[in-house]
Amino acid sequence: MSHIIHRNPSQTIPLAVRGEGCYLIDTQGRRYFDGSGGAAVSCLGHGHPKVIAAMKQQLETLEYAHTSFFSSEPAEQLANLMAQQSPPTLGHVYFVSSGSEAMETALKMARQYHVDNGELQRHHFVSRRQSYHGNSLGALAIGGNLPRRKLYEPLLMPTTQVSPCFAFRYRLAGESDADYVDRLGLELEQTFLQLGPETVAAFVAETVVGATSGAVAPVPGYMARMREICDRYGVLLVLDEVMCGIGRTGTYHAFEQEDVLPDIMTLAKGLGGGFAPIGAVMASDKVVHTINAGSGSFQHGHTYVGHPIACAAALAVQQEIVDQQLCAKVRSSGDLLARLLKERFAHHPHVADIRGRGLFWAIELVQDRDGNVPFPAELRLNAHIKKTAQTHGLLCYPGGGTLDGINGDHVLLAPPYISTPEQLAFAVDTLAVALDESVHG
Ligand code: PLP
């Protein structure tokens, strides 16, 4: 009997004992292709020798130094590298240990910016339905993932959600991208006006939506319009790239493909690549200079902020991404993955949409393509696909509630950047088998 509070106590899951490249291996010696990198985490796969060597070396040199006493070499070098990979005005980094912590930190930083800017009344956060920003209370409060919020609703600070930019489901028939952007822009502006725009602290959005709806990229012009509206009312733009950042969509930051600059952004999964728990907030000159000139310092902190071993791991992961030009590799492998998915599923009776960027793709499932009717939620099709795919040696990341938190199913693929064409083909073939067995089985 396990003493762990497992995610699902009624389910027995295998024990993973080894990781090798794109594979995880269990106690029975079964090998699983990590087609989703867990939850879009393992961008370099498993057991990467350079990352392991960097972590060992750091462990033998300095395992921990509290950041109120010392900075550390790996933290400084990692922040330098991240600043070099970012636009010049977005060069300030605050390290944490997870995506949720990064989001909590981003919210507090946005609030402090306004206070230090003399606008003490700004405290409202506006975010979007069908988004996920983490499971801690602040992150959950701005999240639009209904099932994850439901139980904790009485504990959550009040926030306001606007519509997602989810063209496949919510662009009206006959509506152009430009008209859709106009409509969503109007909704955001009206929301600010209703709240009192002088009280709004930030608009928070995932640049490309991950787990909640499945690799949903914004339509052209959407992010730039949201930026314009934020600027008009002095509201900060906070982009959550915890899942879609660090090369996952084919550029180091996902926002590079949107022609916008956030004031604050969050990163986590691909930062440490699973080798260590680490997340980060990156902030603009405007935000950091205002805070430093106001209170003098950011009023925040955790014991493990800037942990040297986590930073050494992330530094080695980031160096590998830069040195091996993995963003370019993600773009070319992503083209292949897109082609394989379209060849396999474009005419599939239960696949309504195939979408994504880079190595971040999803298929959305329907019972009936006529009208794109989802499967009944109680079938829990996504859970069946996850289990069936795993028995066939594929790890993928299905989700439910794609449309509105309750209805709809999708499957997300986010394979390691080092995946070979054969491995990508295996992932697509096996997903097709798992889908058919789950629907008909
Ligand atoms: N933001 C996004 C977009 C995420 O996908 C996640 C996790 O899946 C989080 C935040 C929270 O990250 P963590 O699970 O590391 O706390």
Instruction: Please give the pLDDT value at position 145.
Output: 85
What tens-digit pLDDT sequence spans the chain (441 residues)?
A: 899 999 999 888 999 999 999 999 999 999 999 999 999 999 999 999 999 999 999 999 999 999 999 999 999 999 999 999 999 999 999 999 999 999 999 999 999 999 999 999 999 999 999 999 999 999 999 998 888 999 999 999 999 999 999 999 999 999 999 999 999 999 999 999 999 999 999 999 999 999 999 999 999 999 999 999 999 999 999 999 999 999 999 999 999 999 999 999 999 999 999 999 999 999 999 999 999 999 999 999 999 999 999 999 999 999 999 999 999 999 999 999 999 999 999 999 999 999 999 999 999 999 999 999 999 999 999 999 999 999 999 999 999 999 999 999 999 999 999 999 999 999 999 999 999 999 997
Pairing mode, if any, of strands 124-128 and 200-206? parallel
Nearest-atom index, ligand 1, CA of 277? 15
Q: Which phi and psi angles does 189 have, rounded to 5°?
A: -65, -45
Select from 248, 245, 212, 234 the least CA-distant residue to 110.
234
Q: Is the dihedral of CA 13, 214, 185, 88 positive or negative?
A: positive
| Domains in the chain with CATH codes | 16-47+325-440 (3.90.1150.10), 52-323 (3.40.640.10)
Q: Tell whether ligand 1 has an atom less than 6 A from the beta carbon of residue 39.
A: yes
Report CA(238)–ligand 1 centroid distance (Å). 14
Name 32's bridge partners: 24
**pTM listed for this prediction:** 0.98
At which residue do the structure tokens 């995506």 appear?
A: 99
* 3-state secondary structure at position 176: coil
Contact call for residues 434 and 388 (beta carbons, < 8 A): yes
Q: Would you state the pLDDT for residue 31? A: 98
Establish whether residue 320 lines the binding site of ligand 1, counting it when its CB lies within 6 angstroms of any ligand atom. no
* Nearest atom (ligand 1) to Cα of 206: 3
**How far apart are alpha carbons 229 and 126 in whole angstroms?**
12
Ligand 1 mean position, distance from CA 99 (Å): 5
**Which pLDDT score, from 0 to 100, does residue 147 have?**
86
CA Rg value for the chain: 21
278 Cβ below 6 A of ligand 1? no
Q: What is the DSSP string of 59-109?
A: HHH-S---TTT---HHHHHHHHHHHHTS-TT--EEEEESSHHHHHHHHHHH
Rounded-to-integer distance, Cα 27 and Cα 16, Å: 6
For atom 1 of ligand 1, the residue with the nearest CA is: 133
411 CB less than 6 Å from ligand 1? no
Q: How far, in Å, is the centroid of ligand 1 from the Cα of 100?
A: 6
